Amino acid sequence: MTTAEVLLQQLITGTSNGLVIALVALGYTMVYGIVELINWAHGEVVMLGAFLALTLIGLCGFTPAPGFPWLACLVLLLVVPLFTAGVNWSIDRLALRHLRNAPKLIALVSAIGVSFILLNIGLFWGGLPMDVFGGGRSAASPKDVPDLIGYRNLLGESSIQLTAKDVLVFAITLPMMAALTWFVRRTRLGTAMRACSQDPVAATLMGIDVDRVIGATFLIGGALAGVASVILALVNNSIHFSMGRVGLDAFIAAVVGGIGNLPGAVLGGIAIGIIRAVSDQYLAAAWTNVVVFGVLIAVLVFRPTGLLGSRVREKV
């Protein structure tokens, strides 16, 4: 491959991975935009969604077959987001709703505690006596996900790889992000979300049920996490009870793009995905995290509000 082809390949790979990160980052930034809280359990919600996806693959008997697995993708993308949306809503309802007026540190520590609970649920889940979980003999080991999609190059004999997995990522995430942007800007609930983000007290005085709006935000963020978990499972063909680390990349993406800003979360996710791909190619995988956090620090130093964030006056 020529130098230009190598770079183009990394841009394709990085953009594809970045869009998945962006889906998770949107969940972070939506919640932060309203309650100014980083939900550290969000990455573990993604992990539980991936475990449910593998469970459904085992129960439904989905196996690699010629063509695109339309039925498998449809089932997973319908069931898993509903489950993760419920989990995310439950986190708010059971652990965070009662801390609305508490100091932010208390709510943050509670979210961290929930993340450990979900982490252990994933560990136990990996011990289920199912064939797709290796018979449950090693709960802590990575679980192989059947390669339902395959790696056939859609560009034929070209040295540049564009697989059905890349197309799946683009075909699902881009329309979802466009729909979410439309939803927030054009619907009554979206208007209520923006009102609660700007001034919860004034929103309450205007008759908006702030708790209901926040609950809806957690539902939507959880559904986005479910879609991301399905894509991660199908694209990477491996899941692990500690895969919630993707939440860290998503948080970095949200901060780089401008936390609380939906387009910023998308831009940040794509940026982090490309940075990781290029670093793996031209430096070494061992240096990738150094590069990513270096970029984060640089953004915080020179553009504290993020690439698309705007400086707002803090209310005191």
pLDDT of residue 316: 42
The C-alpha torsion from 170 through 173 and 175 to 181, rounded to 10°, is -140
CATH number of 9-128+140-302, picked from 1.10.10, 1.10.3470, 3.30.70, 1.25.40: 1.10.3470
Helix ranges (DSSP H) in 98-163: 104-125
CB contact at 8 A, 254 and 300: no
Q: 143: which strand partners?
A: 239
Sequence-distant (≥ 6) Cβ neighbours of residue 181 within 8 angstroms: 262, 263
Mean pLDDT of 179-186: 87
pLDDT of residue 27: 83
* Residue 313: band (very low, low, confident or very high) from pLDDT cuts 50, 70, 90: low
pLDDT of residue 159: 82
- Under the phi-then-psi rule, with left for phi > 0, alpha for psi from -120 to 50, and beta for the rest, what region is 156? left
pLDDT of residue 283: 86
Nearest in space to 44 (alpha carbons), one of 178, 254, 239? 239
Does the pLDDT value for residue 39 go beyond 90?
no
Nearest in space to 44 (alpha carbons), one of 243, 249, 240, 224? 243
* pLDDT digit string, tens, across residues 90-140: 999 998 888 888 888 888 899 999 999 999 999 999 988 888 898 878 888
Does the pLDDT value for residue 284 go beyond 90?
no
Instruction: Quickly count: other Cβ atoms within 10 Å of residue 311's Cβ.
Output: 8
Q: How far is CA 185 from CA 31, 182, 206, in A?
A: 16, 5, 19
Helix ranges (DSSP H) in 187-313: 188-198, 200-205, 210-236, 246-257, 262-282, 285-302
Mean pLDDT of all residues in the chain? 88
Which residue carries 């959880």 as its tokens? 222
